[in-house]
Amino acid sequence: MSNAANWKAKADSAEYDEMYQRLTDAAWELARFEGLARLTLNGVARQAGCARSSVYRYFDNKDQLLGAVLQQRVLLLGRELKASLSAYSDPREQLVRGLYLAVQELRNGPSLELVAALLVEDGQAVADIVLDYVADIATDVLSIDPVFQRARNAGLVRADLSDGDILRWLVTIGLSMFQQGAIDRNPEKELAYLRKMLLPSIFIEA
């Protein structure tokens, strides 16, 4: 094992969790006021009250840190939406409704207010980070894992698509829907748009 690997913080203690949270909270707060372009690891270290070297024990670079921040915010949103999605038994409708609710929360709710602001200010940069980390952030989001396990078991999902392919497409459509503003801001029209864009691309029989 390399010295670099030994130097990295080990995710097996309360101290690790505490510092990890301090760093992601610090990055969140700085990004709110300074934007992605001006966010630096030096600034995060100052905000968290630690040395810059401590940041590198947890994250290799700024994008990895921001990926962790977005992961936390997206997972929080996923937990908030689970109750709403439980009203639908069809995984196809859960998928459509879940992404619709996520976009609505991005537009209007408090959970992802920074992500929404950053998409306006640094849209492509945020989109790139989200897509880079989608495999890490999406397992619990919108109950995707059990939804797709049931759908795959039922033979509904296209066999040529991996879960990663599906999740990247979900993120791409969701970000596109947010960035282009409202199609009509009519719920039924937006749901119809999502069904048209998502279902034939993912399911065998949409």
The reported pLDDT for the residue numbered 199 is 92
Burial code (b: 16+ CB inside 10 Å, e: under 16) for 16-40 equals eeebbebbbebbbebbeeeebeebe
Rounded average pLDDT over 162-189: 77
The reported pLDDT for the residue numbered 109 is 58
Domains of the chain: which residue ranges? 1-60, 69-206
Query: Which residues make Cβ contacts (< 8 Å) with residue 179, sequence separation at least 6?
Result: 119, 123
Over the stretch 17-68, which tens digit does the pLDDT of each residue have? 899 999 998 988 887 777 766 788 999 999 999 999 889 999 988 878 887 8
The CATH number assigned to the domain with range 69-206 reads 1.10.357
1-60 fold: Arc Repressor Mutant, subunit A (1.10.10)
Query: Which residues make Cβ contacts (< 8 Å) with residue 42, sequence separation at least 6?
Result: 52
The reported pLDDT for the residue numbered 1 is 41
| Amino acid letter for position 187 | P
The reported pLDDT for the residue numbered 116 is 57
CA angle 34, 39, 40 (to 5 degrees): 145
The reported pLDDT for the residue numbered 123 is 59
DSSP-assigned letter for residue 104: H
Asked if 131 and 168 count as a contact pair (C-beta separation under 8 A), the reply is yes
Question: Where residue 2 falls among pLDDT bands split at 50, 70, 90?
Answer: very low
Over the stretch 154-169, which tens digit does the pLDDT of each residue have? 889 998 988 778 877 8
Rounded average pLDDT over 68-78: 74
**Same fold yes or no, 1-60 and 69-206:** no
Over the stretch 121-147, which tens digit does the pLDDT of each residue have? 555 665 666 556 555 555 545 445 566
pTM of the full predicted structure? Answer: 0.61
Q: For residue 203, how many other CB atoms are within 10 A of its CB?
A: 18
Angstrom distance (rounded) from CA 122 to CA 35: 8
